[in-house]
Structure 1
Amino acid sequence: MTEGEIRTIANEILSRTLGSSGYERVEVRPGFDHAGEPSWFLKAVFKPGSGVTDGRRLNGANADLRMKLLERGEDRFPYLNVEYPDDEVLADDEELEKP
């Protein structure tokens, strides 16, 4: 699947499951996980002032996303991260964002 297709599917699922928590958009990039396997890295960006989202909702959204991608024939695992604009960004966090 293309990056655009993944973004569309992810946005539909994340809007439905996390919209009431302040979800704003998703950023998607392909890459490789710690084992060198092709993967998708997604960042769910929340609106300022959203606060922390319940972990069960995040896990549920990620599970829904994984199942939908598998249904569509996409076997690369989607790693979902979150970004809250109100969070303090630490130097180590900035290094993790670099490809």
Structure 2
Amino acid sequence: MSWTVLVLSGVLEAVWATALGRSEGFTRPAPTAVFAVALVLSMAGLAFAMRELPVGTSYAVWVGIGAVLTVVYAMATGTESVSLLKVLFLAMIVGGVVGLKVAH
């Protein structure tokens, strides 16, 4: 259960990071609201997962999932350029996250 919550919290990290960028300094109400809700839920899920999982593993997985999904979304929407090197490095982050799960 903790791993499932942790992965969902990582997804929510990507949501709040993207919403933060779209909020234009908290001047746009809808993205600001999405940011706030996703941030609270993401942090609550991370805290829940840390009750059973090591802090370092939990945080690394949470950040890794959030970072990769944020960049992939930006690439898919055209706000971030796509290159073979970027895709390779993102795959390395995914590999690290999977490795932490396997090692646990």
What TM-score, normalized to structure 1?
0.39
Q: Which has the larger radius of gyration?
A: 2
Structure number with the bigger relative contact order (C-alpha 8 A, sep ≥ 6) is 2
Report which of the two has the higher share of helix: 2
Report which of the two has the higher share of strand: 1
